[in-house]
Amino acid sequence: MADIFISYAHEDQERVRPIVRELEKRWSVFWDRKIPPGKTWESSIGKALEESPCVLVVWSPLSERSDWVKKEADVARKKGTLVPLFLDTLVLPLGFLRINAVDLSDRNNNNAYQGFQLLIDAIESKISPSTLPVTESLPKHGLALLEGAAQTAPQRKPAQQSVGNVGFAQKNQLAIGVAVVMLVILGAVGSMRLWSKVENKSVSGAAAVKVNQEDDARRKTTEAKLSADKETAPPFGAEAKKKLKIGDEYGGGKIAWLDATGQHGLIAAKADIPGPYHSWDAAKAKCASLGDGWRLPTKGELDKLYRAKCAVCGFSDYFYWSSTEYNADNAWIQYFYQGIQGYYDKSFQRCARAVRTF
């Protein structure tokens, strides 16, 4: 069984060959389109297609018109083994438009280009989904995988769950506090009543009745006050406001992150900045132009958006700009297909989503 099955148009063979050479340094590759004598498509090519954990489909104007490539791509899509690759700029066939593809269209066959690094990572995610490959830094603009395996670990539970637990504990503390106060007061009342009974032995019957009446009146006043205080007391901590959670519509967007109090956090705009792609300078300017504190997220905030992308919704599986600069020419980005952070030339065209804090 080969690690990688490559589906491509025969006419693109020479363009695909340099890519195969690089991949063969890491994995076993099936890309021979010849059917041996006495074999059928199903027993040779079809068998390799079914068994390979990764199917690399190389899209070009020629493969886009190939029924065989479309068939193989459809099989891989249904099995979850598909990794699409652009050799040229084109629109994918129907059924594949929503699948993110690695783009090598502007610097074909140059394995130093960042797109090739992304291709390696995408293949690794299919072959060994629990690990992230150890890669070398790229000569130019390089995709710096500083986040390492932590970026591919299962997403942490949303912060609002811990907030909910805090609120529950706080409410329990309040209830316990009220109960203790009531016990102390009622204990004091009981002591006064006992004292009254002792004193009644030395006073007349009329005086004892008066003492008991005053005692009962005092007790009723105390109980009424406790009941009123309980009804009018403000909720504790996070309950003083609406209970917020990630994904809620709030402040003109959707909550993407909450702090430990549950009342402060990060709001993401409901949609990306229209474009859909922008240079870094343009992305910053367009986010700021929304006013009211909207801006491009920092590197850390961008990772919070990625982790909440399913709750916030509307994100592409492409690259997103952060406002954090790597140096004068490059800024940090995040790949929303896999969560990997790296840096790119500020002139590149990427997606942008505005955020604000509350």
The predicted model scores a pTM of 0.39
Mean pLDDT of the chain: 74
Task: Give the pLDDT confidence score for residue 207 in this predicted structure.
Answer: 55
Residue 41 to residues 6, 34, 49, 52, 344: CA-CA distances in angstroms?
Answer: 15, 9, 10, 15, 43
The dihedral formed by the CA atoms of 108, 112, 114 and 117, expressed in degrees to the nearest 10: 100
Bridge partner residues of 250 (DSSP): 253
* Fold (topology level) of 249-357: Mannose-Binding Protein A; Chain A (3.10.100)
What are the residue ranges spanned by the domains of the chain? Answer: 4-143, 166-240, 249-357
- CA terminus-to-terminus distance, the chain: 54
Residue 10's pLDDT band (cuts 50, 70, 90):
confident
Task: Give the pLDDT confidence score for residue 276 in this predicted structure.
Answer: 86
Give which of 324, 318, 328 is closest to 350, Cα–Cα: 318
Give the pLDDT confidence of 16-46 residue by residue, as tens digits. Answer: 998 898 899 889 999 876 666 766 666 678 8
d(CA 55, CA 82): 5
Residue 183's pLDDT band (cuts 50, 70, 90):
low
Contacts of 308 (CB under 8 A, 6+ apart): 158, 246, 247, 256, 257, 268
Give which of 61, 54, 12 is closest to 30, Cα–Cα: 54
Task: Give the pLDDT confidence score for residue 251 in this predicted structure.
Answer: 92
Task: Give the pLDDT confidence score for residue 307 in this predicted structure.
Answer: 92
Which range of 165-179, 235-249, 297-311 scores highest in mean pLDDT? It is 297-311
d(CA 200, CA 73): 97
Residue 260 to residues 173, 237, 265, 338: CA-CA distances in angstroms?
Answer: 17, 11, 9, 27
Take residue 188 and report the two structure tokens written for it: 């004091």
Q: Which residue has the higher pLDDT, 167 or 141?
A: 167
Going through 190-318 in order, the beta strands assigned E by DSSP cover 249-250, 253-258, 265-268
Residue 87's pLDDT band (cuts 50, 70, 90):
confident
d(CA 262, CA 253): 17
Take residue 76 and report the two structure tokens written for it: 């891989």
Q: Which residue has the higher pLDDT, 181 or 148?
A: 181
Give the type of residue at 121: D
Rounded (to 5) percent helix, strand, coil in the chain: 45, 15, 40
Model confidence at 357: pLDDT above 90: yes
* Fold (topology level) of 4-143: Rossmann fold (3.40.50)
Give the pLDDT confidence of 212-266 residue by residue, as tens digits. Answer: 666 677 667 666 655 655 454 444 344 345 689 999 999 999 999 999 888 899 9
Task: Give the pLDDT confidence score for residue 321 in this predicted structure.
Answer: 96
Model confidence at 91: pLDDT above 70: no
Task: Give the pLDDT confidence score for residue 356 in this predicted structure.
Answer: 96
Residue 318's pLDDT band (cuts 50, 70, 90):
confident
Which range of 87-91, 117-121, 307-311 scores highest in mean pLDDT? It is 307-311
Residue 52 φ/ψ, nearest 5 degrees: -75, 130
* pLDDT cut 70: percent of the chain above it: 59
